[in-house]
Structure 1
Amino acid sequence: MTATATPTVRTGILDCVQVNLAVLADRRCGPGRHLGLGARLRFRPEPGPDGLPTVDPSPEEHLRDGAALVGLRAEAFAQRVPADGLRAMAERVSVVYAVADTYDMPWLPYAGRARMEHSFLVGAHRDGAEIEDTYDNETAWGPARPGRWTLPWERLPTASFACALSPVREYRAPRPQLCLDDPAAYVEAYASHPDRLAALRRLTAETWLMTRARQLHAAYREHLGERLDAEGHLRRWDQLTATAFIALRRAERGRPVPGALLPELASLLTADREVFAVPPHRP
């Protein structure tokens, strides 16, 4: 396996479902199209694992919402697709977008260590499956970096779903939109959860997702030509993500964790509404 991809999208502000959708958006529709993934800033938590609320939508919902924002349409959609099914799809279309379990992805440091839903692109190559994954992140087991790999088809994971993505004929860049619920119940759920370690593990992932979402939304607003005074706010979100990670590591070692974590989360979620206020629409 070799990693030889140079991404053309802003990988550092995209999550693991968005990042490979972003690649297709720019290739099919032109440079910068992927920033439309940030048009809608959402904070609408749903019930999640361990009795904790989560801002992380299901991968299928996330893919469909994101595709609509960048002017792509999912076609030949299939669920529970084994490796031979991915091969059959890839031989019919140029590129397949798929989501599967990181535990079974040999090109990622999560392989054999951690389970989460993650996207990748696959095409048919004369030497096997050509995998492309532009995910960019530091993990507990080393860095995940954008790359392309050629693998035997049998080494591919079973996809929870897979599809082809094609441009829609008529597309209008979406207007920025805020969908922000009151954060009080969300923060309280994490503050009062009886399993502090489970709460911190989930909160580490949640703050990572929320920080990237806000960075992406700011990038889209700037792409549209807006002057957004969000730099300091985004730095605080970055710091919160780092604080959550440190708190988790301390908790895993039985050490006390920073007491300011949840108050800062509440403060940032409350401030989002003012920092990202959308100006009135002018026809």
Structure 2
Amino acid sequence: MSAPTRCTPASELTEPLTDPLAEAIRGIDTTALDCVQVNAAVLADAAHGSGTHRELGGRLRFTTRSRTTGALPTVEQQPVDQVRQLAGPLGLALDIGAPVTEGAALLDRLPADGGALYVVGDAYRMPWLPYHGHQHMDHSLLLRATDGGARVEAVDAYDNETPYGRAEPVICSYERAQAAALFDGAPAVPVSVRPLPGPGAAREPVARTLARNAEDAALLLAGDAPERYAHAFRDLSDQSAACTALLLETWLLARSRRLHAAWVADRAPGSAHASAAAERAAAWDELAGQCYLASRRVQRGRPVPPQIHTTLARLLRADAELAVEAARTGSGDPMPDPAQIRRTVTDTVADVLGADPAAVAGTDDLSRLEGFASFQMVETVERLEDAYGVEFAPGDLQPAVLRSVDGLVGLVVRTTEGLEVAHS
């Protein structure tokens, strides 16, 4: 298989960076994301600003499915299902295409403007990864045309220690024919990406996210799902297979909890919830390390340490208890930044009217813009209420308020300040 002409670790790229994807990688804790999330995160931060990707950590999930073979459950999602869940939190429109088995056909999907195509393919065929030639597994990457289409870059922000060596964020450059050969004969799923306008308007309020987490957690605490999950690995007759599978499970859970802690720290900095989430993430990291040791021990014919299964169930219950407590005591959500409110209002109005944000920002009377009417005013109000998790008082919805960016910004500020007072 052809080797890349150039392959550069992202950490070795020299300043100043003019590549938005490389710049985005620099601002991401890539160790908190799995191989499907991480490259979508790069696109989101490049489109909407550093830190956007942390919205993926809001929901604290424990959802299992049956493996296609064997009796073990898994928290690992099917890649297509996971991609569908990425779109909303990241502010991206993700159009999932049919699998392609010809490299040339895949590269024909590359955006002509040099933008990136998100792809889920087989890590076994990706030379920059330690899995290359060793293990088949679904893996995402970004492909983009350079040099007028004569070359193709593969951008991959995946970061992990593997049994075959270290994977680190990298940008590799291939001749177009070389890049096509990487994907010949193995299904690859192309995903076209378009940033959605006004990512702030789509961001779910903290209180709402915490309430959804608490609803899921209450169901978990009412049953024995954590214990049944842990016992499935404990009771499997083939403990070598069980430990290998459990290593992946705890790796995925640890990364998701690390990302959740980053989200809480971002949305409720300095809160007791942020401190507790960081402690939970550290506990999951410790368990993942214990599972690695257990896997190595069983390969040598030694018994599996029994505490890993009890710890697994205990941590799942502790996560759920924290989720319920966080919703009960409140989010500690900081007051919205007025400058961010103005950007959100401007972007929301521009999206509703199909107008240039600069034109929206530059007028003191929105009714002068083409397409402005009562229906558009209502849609703007509803979007802003959804964005900030509030309901505007009917008496505040005066025409003069709704016809200007300043009026809408003031409306959001007054309402969110009133909500903060009510919660204090």
**Alpha-carbon offset, residue 70 of structure 1:** 1.3
Q: In structure 2, what residue type is equivalent to 1:263?
A: T
2:54, 2:257 → 1: CA distance?
Answer: 12
Percent sequence identity is: 35
**Relative to structure 1, is the Cα distance of residues 143 and 154 closer, same or farther in structure 2, using a 3 angstrom cutoff?**
same
Match of 2:192 in 1: 164
Out of 247, 250, 260, which is 1:207 matched to? Answer: 250
Question: Tell me, which stretches of 5 or more residues in structure 2 are unaligned?
Answer: 1-5, 12-24, 331-388, 391-424
Do 1:230 and 1:276's aligned partners in 2 also have CA atoms closer than 8 Å? no
| Matched letter for residue 301 of structure 2 | G
User: Distance between the aligned counterparts of 2:136 and 2:170, measured in 1?
Assistant: 20
How far is 1:274 from its partner?
Answer: 1.9
Determine if the alignment matches structure 1 residue 24 to structure 2 residue 40.
no
Give SS of 1:65's match.
helix
Match runs of 1:1-283 below 5 Å: 1-6=6-11, 7=25, 8-48=27-67, 49-75=69-95, 77-92=97-112, 94-126=115-147, 127-151=150-174, 152-157=178-183, 158-169=186-197, 171-174=201-204, 175=206, 176=209, 177-178=212-213, 179-180=216-217, 181=220, 182-226=225-269, 227=271, 228=273, 229-277=276-324, 278-279=326-327, 283=390
Provide the aligned C-alpha RMSD in A.
1.9
Q: Are the counterparts in 2 of residues 187 and 262 from structure 1 also a CA contact under 8 Å?
A: yes
- How much does 1:81 deviate? 4.6
DSSP 3-state at the match of 2:287: helix
The structure with the greater share of residues assigned to helix is: 2
Q: Which has the higher strand share?
A: 1
For structure 1, which segment, 60-69 or 164-173, has the greater mean C-alpha deviation from structure 2 after superposition? 164-173
SS at match of 2:293: helix
- The Cα shift of 1:76 comes to 6.2
Q: Counterpart of 2:397?
A: none
SS of the equivalent of 1:69 reads helix
User: SS where residue 203 of structure 1 aligns?
Assistant: helix
Q: Is the contact between residue 107 and residue 180 of structure 2 (CA under 8 Å) also seen in structure 1?
A: no
Secondary structure of 1:135's partner?
coil
Q: 1:213 deviation in Å?
A: 0.4
CA–CA distance in structure 1, aligned partners of residues 287 and 103 of structure 2: 39
Q: CA deviation at 1:184?
A: 2.0
Code of the aligned partner of 2:179: W
Residue-by-residue CA offset, 1:58-77 (whole Å, 9 max, x unaligned): 11111110122111111362
- Separation in structure 2 between the aligned mates of residue 142 and residue 16 of structure 1, nearest angstrom: 16
* TM-score normalised by length of structure 1: 0.93
Answer 1 or 2: higher relative contact order, Cα 8 Å, separation at least 6: 1
TM-score, normalising length: structure 2: 0.63
> Offset at 1:232?
2.6
Classify the secondary structure of the residue corresponding to 2:85.
helix
Q: Is the 8 A contact 2:100 2:106 kept in 1?
A: no
Q: Deviations over 1:117-146 (max 9, x none)?
A: 110000112352200000000011111010
Unaligned runs of 5+ in 1: none
- Of structures 1 and 2, the larger Rg is shown by 2
